[in-house]
Structure formats: C-alpha cells, structure tokens
C-alpha cells in the first residue's frame, strides 16, 4: 500500500491512469503523440570556483566550441535528474556577457534545498549539465548612463554580470552597488568588486551593508527601507532623472528597497527586479483535483490532464504535447499561450505585461488550472 501510494505520487500524472479511474494523461489527440521540445544544450563544467563557504561559481563551456551568447542580467535554466524526476532551477549569469566562450553561474546553497546543495557540494569539473536559455529582461536599457544596483546575498550574480560587462563597454557609464550581507565572509565576489572599483575609479562605487560590524561596512544592519534611503542619499552625486535601479536579493530586502524608491517618487519604469524564488516551486493556487486542459497547437487539439500541483507546461510535457519553453520560471514568455476558456491560477511574479494579461495571455510554466480550460499555442 505504502509502496504503491508513494510510487503513485512519484510518477504523478504519467501513471495516473493505472491508479485511478481517470484516463492516463497521455494527450488524447486527433493524431499521434509528439515529443516535447527541449531547447537545451549540454554544457561542460570546466571549473568549479569556491566563492564563499556556501557559494560556488560553475564555469560552463560548450564542448562543440559554439558561442554562449547572453545579455548581462539574463539567466540560464539548469536541468537535473533527481530521483528519476527532471527538476529545473534558474541561475543568473555572473560573468561578462562580452565573453562568449564560457558562461559562469554562481550558486548559493539553500539549506534543505533540492538542487542547490547538490550543485554546491557534489558537482565537479568534467561533468556535464543540461542547460536552457538564456532568458530574462533584467538588463540595462541602451543609452542609460547611471544605475544603482541594490543587491543582497546571491542576488549579486546578475548585478555582477551587469557591472563586469557594461563598465568595460561604456566608458561614460556610472554604476553604484549597495550590497547587503550578513558578514564580510558571506560577500560573494568581495575581492573582485574591490578590483573593479579600483579599475573603474570614479565610475563604480560599492557600499557594503553588513549585519555583523566590520570596517568595510558603510552601514551595520539590514538593507531595509531606512538603510536604502540613507544609502541613496550617500550616493546622490551620480544620480539623475534617468538613473535606473536594479533590485535582486531576498524577498524582504527587495520589498523594502522598492518601497524606499517609491517613497522617493522613482517611477516603475526606472525600477527593474529579479526575484530568485521561482513561482513554479511555490504552490500558488490551482485546483484540488485533476483538470482537463484542451491545448490547441496549430489547429491540432490535445487534451492534457493536469494533476493537482502541476503546471500546464509540466502536464503537457509529460503528455508529449509541444508547448515551447525556456526558463520554466515565468521569466522569459517562451511558453506564452492564450487562455480561451476557463480560469487558471497564474504564478507571480512573472514577465507578462498588463496588456498581455488583458488580452488573455498566460504563461504555461506558472499556470495551474482552476477548472477545465482551453489554451491556444500561437
């Protein structure tokens, strides 16, 4: 009994036809079953660099020599097989986007996490990783001459890529980084940041906000709303009406930083956010029972059964129905489909803009049906 119930959970919808009176969720289609499209590539882990006791940088290269192009601030999605199930996690590139022979991602171990401890403690040079991407819009708009980067902990990764890339490319660009951490030993890229400040003196300033007192700290405490305001005042000399603000770090820090910027009248168009907690991992709504979703792909109709907790994309992939995808965390819009009937719980945050929402678009990778639905893949 225990064996069967755990097996049933493990196999989720793939075997649900065997264990329940629902039909197996292979897509019922007027036609044949296709293979889910996997826009991934196999990358070699060339090197693993120890950054802090719980953070590692993975240097990834394409063994075929093909370039690894991305924009500074974008992320890649790593796929791992764990206990027979494919899991995906997004990791921002931390390296310069001007170097296309490799991409570096920097992973901080989350205590009790499924994937990050394996990447930090078990992965070694010479192994290969399945990788999708790049994805994301956490990038510096063209022509901006000043940006404030507000980061906390592992949230430094896309900010580091932005600093490494754009300071070298644009001699007129000025960047400020306010970086929150618990202690000095937790600061990822501490020495490299100092070197960048020296290299780009007068154009790149870094202020460390540390919870544990240390001489390098500009402020001792948390990067909360009051501290962000004080730090912005200290950095005022570079500021202009077109300065951009990039926020990446723990949820609480980002909310506080955003509130601080809003209280100063900074418009939403000048604030960019990258949230690391994947909406597809949090159980954001969805039906309590299995729901049928009719998926229309270029005129072909498939019916996919979505089990509780699953996203439409996961169920479609299990059923062999092709919905394009890349990041799987609501960040790239590759899986955008039109909801033509029914209701879904749409994971937040995601990258759909208000107009797309009004027109009925949803992201299959973070959508869970609330009843029978129909969606169209465009």
Ligand X SMILES: Cc1cc2nc3c(=O)[nH]c(=O)nc-3n(C[C@H](O)[C@H](O)[C@H](O)COP(=O)(O)OP(=O)(O)OC[C@H]3O[C@@H](n4cnc5c(N)ncnc54)[C@H](O)[C@@H]3O)c2cc1C
Interface residues with ligand FES (CB under 6 A) are 135, 325-328, 330-335, 363, 365
- The residue within the footprint of ligand X, chosen from 71, 130, 192, 281 (CB under 6 A), is 281
Nearer to ligand FES by C-beta: 117 or 285? 285
Residue 154 touches which member of ligand FES, ligand X, none, C-beta under 5-8 Å by kind: ligand X
Signed CA dihedral, 285, 115, 210, 145: sign only = negative
Residue 276 touches which member of ligand X, ligand FES, none, C-beta under 5-8 Å by kind: ligand X
Residue 350 β-bridge partners: none
* Phi then psi dihedrals of residue 212, to 5 deg: -100, 125
Residues 206-265 that bind ligand X (CB under 6 A): 250
Q: Omega into 134 within 30° of 0, i.e. cis?
A: yes
In the chain the beta strands, taken as DSSP E runs, fall at 28-29, 40-52, 55-61, 75-82, 85-92, 103-108, 128-135, 146-152, 174-181, 204-210, 217-220, 244-248, 271-274, 291-297, 300-306, 336-341, 344-346, 361-363, 367-369, 373-377
* Phi then psi dihedrals of residue 44, to 5 deg: -85, 135
Residue 332 touches which member of ligand FES, ligand X, none, C-beta under 5-8 Å by kind: ligand FES
The H or E element spanning position 260 is helix 251-263
- Residue 376 Cα distances to 37, 44, 355, 365, angstroms: 17, 36, 18, 14
Q: How far apart are CA 364 and CA 328, in angstroms?
A: 9
- The residue within the footprint of ligand X, chosen from 11, 14, 36, 110 (CB under 6 A), is 110
- The residue within the footprint of ligand X, chosen from 95, 116, 227, 326 (CB under 6 A), is 116
Residue 76 touching ligand X (CB under 6 A):
no
Residue 363 touches which member of ligand X, ligand FES, none, C-beta under 5-8 Å by kind: ligand FES
Minimum separation from the CB atom of position 281 to ligand X (A): 5
Mask of contacts with ligand X, 136-155, x by CB under 6 A?
A: x-----------------x-
Residue 367 touches which member of ligand X, ligand FES, none, C-beta under 5-8 Å by kind: none
- The residue within the footprint of ligand X, chosen from 97, 103, 107, 149 (CB under 6 A), is 107
Nearer to ligand FES by C-beta: 132 or 147? 132
DSSP string, 302-337: EEEEEPTT--HHHHHHHTT-----SSSSSSS-TTEE
Residues 295-324 that bind ligand X (CB under 6 A): none
Residue 104 touching ligand X (CB under 6 A):
no
Minimum separation from the CB atom of position 60 to ligand X (A): 13
Task: Say if residues 35 and 317 touch (Cβ distance below 8 Å).
Answer: no
- Residue 272 Cα distances to 98, 160, 220, 242, angstroms: 22, 15, 26, 13
Q: Among all residues, whose Cβ is closest to ligand X? A: 113
Label the pairing between strands 146-152 and 174-181.
Answer: parallel
Residue 204 touches which member of ligand FES, ligand X, none, C-beta under 5-8 Å by kind: none
Nearer to ligand X by C-beta: 89 or 203? 89
Residue 115 touching ligand X (CB under 6 A):
yes
Binding site residues, ligand X, CB under 6 A: 75, 89-92, 105-108, 110, 112-116, 136, 154, 157, 250, 274, 276-278, 281, 329, 331
């Amino acid at each position: 009994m225990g064996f069967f119930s755990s097996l049933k959970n493990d196999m989720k919808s793939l075997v649900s036809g065997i264990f329940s009176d629902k039909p197996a969720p292979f897509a019922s289609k007027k036609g044949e079953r296709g293979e889910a499209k996997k826009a991934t590539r196999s990358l070699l882990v060339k090197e693993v660099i120890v950054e802090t006791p719980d953070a590692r940088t993975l240097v990834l290269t394409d063994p075929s020599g093909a370039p690894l192009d991305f924009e500074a601030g974008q992320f890649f999605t790593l796929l791992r097989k764990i206990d027979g199930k494919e899991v995906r996690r997004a990791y921002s590139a931390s390296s310069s986007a001007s170097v296309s022979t490799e991409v570096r991602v920097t992973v901080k171990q989350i205590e009790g996490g499924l994937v990050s401890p394996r990447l930090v403690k078990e992965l070694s040079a010479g192994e290969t990783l399945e990788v999708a991407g790049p994805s994301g819009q956490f990038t510096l708009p063209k022509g901006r001459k000043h940006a404030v980067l507000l980061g906390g902990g592992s949230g430094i990764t896309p900010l580091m890529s932005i600093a490494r890339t754009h300071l070298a490319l644009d001699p007129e660009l000025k960047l400020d980084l306010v970086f929150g951490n618990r202690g000095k030993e937790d600061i990822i890229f501490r020495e490299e940041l100092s070197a960048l400040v020296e290299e780009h003196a007068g154009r790149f300033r870094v202020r460390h906000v540390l919870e544990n007192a240390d001489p390098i700290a500009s402020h001792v405490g948390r990067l909360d709303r009051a501290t962000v305001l004080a730090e912005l005042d200290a950095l005022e000399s570079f500021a202009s009406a077109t300065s951009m603000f990039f926020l990446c770090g723990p949820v609480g820090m980002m909310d506080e930083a955003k509130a601080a910027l809003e209280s100063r009248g900074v418009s939403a168009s000048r604030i960019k956010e990258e949230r690391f907690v994947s909406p597809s991992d949090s159980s954001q709504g969805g039906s309590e029972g299995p729901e049928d979703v009719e998926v229309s792909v270029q005129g072909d109709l498939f019916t996919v059964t979505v089990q509780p907790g699953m996203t439409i994309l996961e169920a479609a992939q299990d059923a062999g129905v092709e919905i394009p995808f890349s990041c799987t965390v609501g960040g790239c819009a590759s899986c955008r489909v039109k909801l033509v009937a029914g209701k879904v719980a749409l994971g937040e945050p995601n990258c759909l803009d208000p107009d797309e929402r009004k027109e009925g678009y949803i992201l299959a990778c973070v959508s869970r049906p609330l009843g029978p639905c129909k969606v169209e893949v465009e």
